[in-house]
Amino acid sequence: MRSLLDFILRIHFLVLFLLIETFSIILLINNNNFQHAGVVNMSRQLSGRYYTRVSNIRQYLSLEEENNKLIEENTRLLNLLESTNKSNEVIYGNVLDTVLNQQYSYISAQIVNNSVNKKHNFLTLNKGLLHGIRPEMAVVSKDGVVGIVKGVSANYSTVISLLNLEYKISAKIKKNNYFGSLSWDGKNYRYATLNEIPLHADIQIGDTIITSGFSSIYPEGIIIGYINDFEEKTGSFYEIKIDLSVDFKNIRNVYVVSNLLQAEQNKIEEQIQ
C-alpha cells in the first residue's frame, strides 16, 4: 500500500496536467465550430481506417473457412455429375430402359506432406480409413491427375505421386482416342512422357491428354496435360513430351476418387488372366 501511495504522489502532477489539457481541448473544440468539425472529421477518418483494417483481418481469418466450404460444395457437385454415373441401357423389343447407377464418389482431402525432387515421390493426405479412403483409389485435383492411394491409416493416407518412376497411367489423346502409357522420367516435375502412340495417329503440339478409362482406378476424361513436343522413336510409335496440367509444387486441395464398381470389375478381369 505504501508503494502505491508513493507512486501516486510521484505522478499526481502529470495526471493533473493531462486532465487540465484534456479539459482545455474539449472547451476549445466546443466553442470553435471550425476546429470541432475538423476533429470530428479526423475522428471519422481514423475510425473508418480502423474498422476497415479490422474487417480485412476478419476476412483474412475467414478465408480458410470459406475455402473449406467451397471444397465441400465442389465435392457434393462432383458426386452429382453425370460422369460419376454408369448408364445401363437395356432394350426389350421396342422398349428402352435406362438405369443410372452411381459409379464414382469423391472425398475431399488436403495434402499435408509432399515431395517433387526425389525419384519416388509421395504425398500424405489428412484423410484415411475413417473417411472412407482405401488403397488403389485415384487422387485428382481441380487441375488434373495427382496419383493413387498406396497406404492408409485411420486418419491419414499416403499417395504415390504421378512424379514416381514406378507409376504408370493409361492415357489417351482427347481428340482422337489414341491411347498409350504415360510415365515420369525422374527429371523435371513439370513434364511426363507418353509412349505407344502409333505414328499414323494425328497429333499436334497443344493437344489435350486425358485418362483413358482403361482401368478400374481412374474415371475416363480426367485431364493429365498437353503435348509439348514429340518425336518418332525406333519402331512404329511416337515418344511424346507432356506438359503436366498439375503444378505439383503448388497443390493443396485434392479429391480421392472411389470406383464403387472396382471390386466387381477386378474380379471378372482376374478370371481371364
The reply to whether 82 falls in a domain is: no
242 lies in the same domain as 204: yes
Give the rounded percent of residues in the chain with a pLDDT score beyond 90. 53
- Global pTM reads 0.68
Whether 232 and 121 share a structural domain: yes
The pLDDT of residue 157 = 95
Mean pLDDT is lowest, of 36-40, 137-141, 209-213, for 36-40
Residue 139 lies inside a defined structural domain of this protein: yes
- The pLDDT value recorded for residue 14 is 65
Residues 106 and 176 in one domain: yes
The predicted pLDDT at position 263 comes to 79
Please state, rounded to an integer, the average pLDDT across all residues of the chain.
80
Per-residue H/E/C for the chain = CHHHHHHHHHHHHHHHHHHHHHHHHHHHHHCCHHHHHHHHHHHHHHHHHHHHHHHHHHHHHHHHHHHHHHHHHHHHHHHHCHHHEEEEEEEECCEEEEEEEECEEEEEEEEEEECCCCCEEEEEECCCHHHCCCCCCEEEECCEEEEEEEEECCCCEEEEEEEECCCEEEEEECCCCCEEEEECCCCCCCEEEEEEEECCCCCCCCCEEEECCCCCCCCCCCEEEEEEEEEECCCCEEEEEEEECCCCCCCCEEEEEEECCHHHHHHHHHCCC
* Maximal C-alpha separation, the chain: 107
Residue 220 in any domain: the answer is yes
> Confidence class of residue 246 from pLDDT cuts 50, 70 and 90?
very high
Q: Are 63 and 190 part of one and the same domain? A: no
Range of the domain at 47: 2-72
Residues 6+ away with beta carbon under 8 Å from 67: 253
pLDDT for 264 beyond 60: yes
Query: Hey, how many other C-beta atoms are within 10 angstroms of the C-beta on 222?
Result: 21
In a domain, 219, yes or no: yes
Chain Cα centroid distance, residue 100 = 29
Whether 38 is covered by a domain: the verdict is yes
Structural domain contains residue 80: no
Domain count, the chain: 2
Closest-CA residue to 171 (of 100, 78, 244): 244
The answer to whether residues 60 and 176 belong to one domain is no
Q: Assess whether pLDDT exceeds 80 at residue 229.
A: yes
Give the pLDDT of residue 92.
Answer: 34
* pLDDT tens-place string over residues 24-54: 666 555 655 555 555 545 554 554 455 456 5
At 258, which CATH number? 2.40.10.340
What's the confidence (pLDDT) of residue 114? 95
Classify residue 60: in a domain, yes or no: yes
Give the range among 16-20, 79-83, 137-141, 177-181 with minimum mean pLDDT. 79-83
Domain contains 55: yes
Pick from 172, 115, 169: nearest CA to 147: 169
Task: Identify whether residues 44 and 167 lie together within a single domain.
Answer: no
How far apart are alpha carbons 88 and 167 in whole angstroms? Answer: 32
